[in-house]
């Protein structure tokens, strides 16, 4: 379960937390008081030095609270099929159990794993922490994708900004001193395909660069983008409008404060970021000395790749629908 409440700390010894505060973390009926990291808002626990049986807030090692709340239950709690299902769930980037069981029943994972398609769904504690969010508001409105039947008919776009710096991949030499702080999402309505471009900021030039990269990818699949749907932020700038006018593309904006009108992009952005955060927290629990929060760009790209290559209810993946070619 995610933390239930949080209040500011007045203990002067907590200064090394960079503005840390205390809150309560509820897990399996037990309530623990844990500090928070002021930079990323994640709860922390403190572990004693190796070989020591004493745990104190003065210890030098602080780990995410996912170490507490993502522990897998003992094997005696889960059945054999449930353990197999949980293992596939983790390898598939923590996508939903219903989707995994649907793929298993269709034989995507082979005959040996058809048995996981009908067993009871286990509890993934990494998902409980990484995918926690507010409950959605029920809105009675016409679906945005009702008339968008072919790839490129309409593409919803949105941007994401991260307070935690993201590591830039390098193939040789020294690690880059620069870092990613933003990302632009593109979601095709007909195929549900997602394309992302990582940026240093959320400026108009970065959004325009992401648009050109997505259109180049679409051209390789012989898809022409006819319409974009975005909010009134960076997509209302003269640079982005001029690019759409030059290519004879329609540009639709959401109303001020009406994020639900761009629901396709908002929902997909939430799905991808929740999966990426869950994978990152799961990896941090398994290898806390190496896996750090600055690896979020890699987790985000992996979540997008898994989404685009996973078959849906039609038996085709978003990549196959978008490109019009079935993978063999």
- Hey, where are the domains in the chain? 5-69, 80-130, 155-323
Q: What is the mean pLDDT of each run of 10 residues along the chain (328 residues)?
A: 38 38 52 58 50 42 44 59 91 90 90 90 85 65 67 93 91 88 94 95 92 95 94 90 94 82 87 93 91 94 95 91 87
Nearest to 235 by CA among 221, 249, 224, 216: 249
Instruction: Give CA–CA dist 196/184, Å, rounded.
Output: 5
Cα-flanking dihedrals φ and ψ of residue 111, to 5°? -65, -30
DSSP letter, residue 231? -
* Distance in Å from the first CA to the final CA of the chain: 41
- The distance of Cα 147 from the centroid of its chain, to the nearest Å, equals 28
- The distance of Cα 12 from the centroid of its chain, to the nearest Å, equals 35
Report the 10 Å Cβ neighbour count for 54.
7
Query: What is the chain's alpha carbon radius of gyration, rounded to the nearest angstrom?
Result: 22
- The pLDDT, as a whole number, for residue 3 is 40
Superfamily of domain 155-323 in the CATH hierarchy? Ribonuclease H-like superfamily/Ribonuclease H (3.30.420.10)
Instruction: Give CA–CA dist 152/223, Å, rounded.
Output: 6
The answer to whether 166 touches 280, Cβ cutoff 8 Å, is: no
- The pLDDT, as a whole number, for residue 275 is 93
Largest CA distance in the chain: 68
Instruction: Give CA–CA dist 124/45, Å, rounded.
Output: 20
This prediction's pTM? 0.68
Cα-flanking dihedrals φ and ψ of residue 73, to 5°? -60, 155
């Amino acid at each position: 379960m995610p933390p239930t409440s949080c209040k500011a700390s007045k203990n002067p010894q907590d200064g090394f937390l960079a503005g840390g505060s205390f809150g309560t973390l509820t897990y399996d009926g037990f309530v623990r008081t844990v500090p928070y990291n002021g930079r990323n808002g994640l709860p922390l626990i403190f572990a004693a030095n190796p070989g020591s049986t004493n745990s104190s807030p003065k210890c030098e090692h602080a780990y995410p609270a996912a170490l507490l709340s993502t522990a897998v239950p003992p094997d005696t709690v889960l059945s054999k099929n449930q353990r197999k299902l949980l293992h596939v769930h983790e390898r598939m980037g923590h996508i939903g159990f219903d989707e995994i069981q649907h793929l298993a029943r269709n034989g995507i994972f082979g005959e040996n794993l058809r048995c996981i398609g009908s067993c009871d769904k286990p509890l993934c504690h990494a998902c409980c922490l990484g995918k926690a969010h507010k409950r959605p508001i029920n809105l009675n409105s016409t679906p945005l994708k009702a008339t968008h039947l072919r790839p490129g008919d309409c593409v919803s776009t949105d941007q994401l900004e991260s307070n935690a710096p993201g590591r830039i991949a390098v193939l040789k030499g020294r690690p880059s001193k620069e870092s990613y702080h933003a990302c632009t999402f593109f979601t095709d309505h007909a195929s549900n395909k997602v394309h992302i471009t990582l940026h240093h900021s959320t400026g108009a030039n970065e959004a325009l660069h992401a648009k050109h990269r997505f259109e180049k990818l679409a051209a390789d699949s012989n898809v022409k983008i006819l319409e974009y749907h975005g909010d009134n932020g960076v997509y209302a700038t003269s640079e982005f409008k001029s690019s759409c006018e030059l290519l004879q593309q329609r540009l639709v904006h959401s109303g001020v404060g009406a994020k639900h009108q761009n629901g396709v992009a908002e929902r997909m952005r939430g799905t991808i970021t929740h999966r990426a955060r869950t994978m990152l927290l799961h990896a941090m629990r398994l290898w806390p000395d190496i896996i750090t929060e600055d690896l979020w760009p890699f987790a985000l790209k992996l979540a997008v790749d898994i989404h685009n290559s996973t078959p849906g209810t039609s038996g085709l993946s978003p990549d196959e629908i978008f490109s019009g070619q079935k993978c063999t």
